Structure 1
Amino acid sequence: MICRVNSINLYYEMSGVGKPLILLHGNGETHKIFDKAIPILSEHFTVYAIDSRGHGQSDSVLEYHYDDMAEDIKCFIHELKLEQPILYGFSDGGIIGLILASKYPQLLSRLIISGANTVPDGIRTGWLRLFQCINAVVKEPKMTMMLKEPNITTEMLKCIVIPTTVLAGSRDMVKRSHTEYIADSIPNSKLNILQGEGHGSYVLHNTKLVNLILDATK
């Protein structure tokens, strides 16, 4: 399905019945990373799996910014008249969720993020240098965004008033101290570090994500 928002066409797939649940993927991915989780989640929620701008079947633009992506989702919620949906965001999807919940405190009912960072330096040094080296060669706009953004402040995190679950793997590419900082800065948040998991090992094409979302929404 296509939804016209914020001057672009945003592709999404909808399935299931119940309270609306938005799923947002990471940089360079599509909604298809949730292919194993969606059939089960659809038994509990109306699931909206979205391709972010420049990904999958959604429109591309010349330059990417997380704030624009957050506005896309705000417009999507208004266009489809979704009433305080739950939002789960992985990696870049989590960044979008943080921005959205801080700018529009009553738009969502609950936020679940995993492997998100608030500044580029929240990524482990080795990973950050690797991305910098790759982008020096390929000059990919979405990777350029990731190396320059986000710039989410502590004050912005403190504006998030809805119940929030902060997830990360113990072997995540985001620094553990940074994940702990995010959870500590959001007033009504819970932190869950998943032992033995990497950045997306429990998310990409994996049913482990299902119980994490169900536990966070009880």
Structure 2
Amino acid sequence: MRVKANQIEINYEIFGKGQPLIMLHGNQEDFHIYEELIEILKDNFTIYAIDSRNHGLSGKSIDFSYDAMTQDVYQFIRQLKINKPHILGFSDGGIIGLKLSIFAPNLIDKLIICGANYHPKGLNKKIIKALKNEYKEDKSPYIKLMLEEPKIRKKDIKKVTLKTLILVGEKDVIKTKHTLKLHQMLKKSKLIILENETHDSFVVHSTKLAPYIMEFTKK
């Protein structure tokens, strides 16, 4: 299915029935990373699985920023008249979820962030070096986005009052101290560091998130 939101065609699918849950994927992915998770959660949630702009089957645009993608999701929720959805965001999707919670907090019920940073400096130095080398080779806008964004102000993060669950792998590419700082700034957040997990091992084509989501979203 497609809907025009923020001047861009957004590709999405709806699964299941229950509490509304919007799933946002990471950089250079599409919503199919959640296929296995959707199978488990669709008995309890109405799941809206979205392809971000310039990803999957969604429209293409030279305006490629987290601000633009946040507006896409905001307009998507408004267009489909989704009432107080939970947001699940992985990596770039987590950044979008965080920015949406700052921009339109009354639109969301609860926020689940997996492996997301609020500033490029939150990535470990080894990854930053690898990304810079890759960008020199192909000038990819996806890599450029990770090197230059996000730059979310700490004072804005501190204003967020949504109940938030932060999940991160013990071996994530994001510095643990960066995630701890995010947890400290989000007043109503819970942090879970998953032992022996990497950046995406507990998210992409995995069902490991299911029990955490079920528990966290209980009314």
TM beyond 0.5 = yes
Equivalenced residue count is 218
- Whole-Å separation in 1 of the counterparts to 2:184 and 2:50: 29
Question: SS in structure 2 opposite 1:173?
Answer: coil
Residue by residue, what CA displacement relative to the aligned partner does 1:151-197 show, whole Å, maximum 9, x if unpaired?
Answer: 11111111211100111000000000000100100111101100110
Q: Counterparts of 1:70-149 in structure 2 under 5 Å?
A: 70-149=70-149
Task: Please give the root-mean-square deviation of Cα atoms over the aligned residues, in Å.
Answer: 0.8
- Whole-Å separation in 2 of the counterparts to 1:215 and 1:19: 13
Is contact 1:52-1:69 (8 Å) kept?
yes
- Whole-Å separation in 1 of the counterparts to 2:125 and 2:61: 29
**For the structure 1 residues 96 and 70, does the alpha-carbon distance in structure 2 shift closer, same or farther, using more than 3 Å as the test?**
same
Q: CA deviation at 1:63?
A: 3.6
Is contact 1:117-1:178 (8 Å) kept?
yes
- Whole-Å separation in 1 of the counterparts to 2:208 and 2:137: 35
Number of the residue aligned with 1:22: 22
Question: 5+ unaligned residues in a row in structure 1: which ranges?
Answer: none
Q: CA deviation at 1:215?
A: 2.1
Identical amino acids, percent of aligned pairs: 42
Number of the residue aligned with 1:212: 212
Question: SS in structure 2 opposite 1:172?
Answer: coil
- Aligned partner letter, 2:54: G
Is contact 1:62-1:141 (8 Å) kept?
no
- Whole-Å separation in 2 of the counterparts to 1:53 and 1:153: 24
Question: 5+ unaligned residues in a row in structure 2: which ranges?
Answer: none
- Whole-Å separation in 2 of the counterparts to 1:135 and 1:211: 37
Is contact 1:36-1:206 (8 Å) kept?
yes
**Runs of 4+ more than 4 Å apart:** none
Residue by residue, what CA displacement relative to the aligned partner does 1:15-44 show, whole Å, maximum 9, x if unpaired?
Answer: 100111000000000000001110111011
- Whole-Å separation in 2 of the counterparts to 1:143 and 1:59: 19
Residue by residue, what CA displacement relative to the aligned partner does 1:45-72 show, whole Å, maximum 9, x if unpaired?
Answer: 0000000000000011124110110000
Number of the residue aligned with 1:67: 67
Is contact 1:20-1:85 (8 Å) kept?
yes
- Aligned partner letter, 2:217: T
Number of the residue aligned with 2:39: 39
Matched, 1:3 2:42: no
Q: CA deviation at 1:200?
A: 0.5
Question: SS in structure 1 opposite 2:29?
Answer: coil
- Aligned partner letter, 1:110: K
- Whole-Å separation in 1 of the counterparts to 2:13 and 2:207: 18
Is contact 1:202-1:208 (8 Å) kept?
yes
- Whole-Å separation in 2 of the counterparts to 1:10 and 1:34: 17
- Aligned partner letter, 1:3: V
Is contact 1:157-1:186 (8 Å) kept?
yes
